[in-house]
C-alpha cells in the first residue's frame, strides 16, 4: 500500500506483495478485500476503485461469493462493486436467495439490493435491452 501511496502505481505495487493475482482466486480476492478496507479507511480512492474493478471480475462473482462481496462493498462504501453484486444477485436470484449467506444479510441491505435491481431493470427497459 505504501508503494501505491508514494508512486501512485497500483498494478506494480500490488504485484510486489507475494499474492498472485492472476488468475483470479479466492486467496487473491481475500487479499484485495483487505486492501480495499485499508484504502477506504485511509481514503485512497484510486486504490479502492482498483480493488472494486478487480473484485468485479466474472471469475470472482459466483453464487458462492456474491453475498460476501456485496457485504464487503457495503462496508467499504464501494458503489461500483455494490452495483455489480446487485446485478449478479439479480442474475442468480433463485440460487442466491436460497443460500445461508443471504439469510444473514441485514434487512436494510437486502432492501437496497432489491431497489438497485429494480432501478437497473427499469433502466434496461428504457434502453430497450
Higher pLDDT residue, 123 or 111?
Answer: 111
Rg (CA), the chain: 16
pLDDT value at residue 6: 46
Whether the link from the prior residue into 29 is cis, omega within 30° of 0, is no
Structure confidence by residue, pLDDT tens digits, 54-82: 999 999 999 999 999 999 999 999 999 99
Buried-state track 101-111, b at ≥16 Cβ within 10 A, e below 16: ebeebeeebee
Say how far apart CA 88 and CA 84 lie, in whole Å: 6
- For the whole model, what pTM was predicted? 0.83
Query: Within a 10 A sphere around the Cβ of 9, how many other Cβ atoms?
Result: 11
CA proximity to 79, closest of 114, 49, 46: 49
pLDDT value at residue 127: 74
Amino acid at each position: 500500500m505504501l508503494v501505491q501511496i508514494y508512486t501512485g502505481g497500483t498494478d506494480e505495487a500490488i504485484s510486489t506483495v507475494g499474492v498472485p493475482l492472476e488468475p483470479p482466486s479466492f486467496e487473491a480476492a481475500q487479499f484485495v478485500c483487505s486492501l480495499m478496507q485499508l484504502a477506504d479507511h485511509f481514503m485512497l480512492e484510486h486504490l479502492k476503485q482498483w480493488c472494486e474493478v478487480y473484485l468485479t471480475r466474472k471469475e470472482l462473482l459466483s453464487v458462492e461469493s456474491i453475498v460476501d462481496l456485496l457485504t464487503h462493498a457495503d462496508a467499504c462504501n464501494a458503489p461500483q462493486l455494490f452495483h455489480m453484486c446487485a446485478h449478479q444477485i439479480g442474475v442468480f436470484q433463485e440460487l442466491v436467495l436460497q443460500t445461508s449467506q443471504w439469510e444473514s444479510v441485514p434487512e436494510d441491505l437486502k432492501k437496497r439490493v432489491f431497489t438497485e435491481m429494480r432501478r437497473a431493470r427499469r433502466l434496461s427497459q428504457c434502453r430497450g435491452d
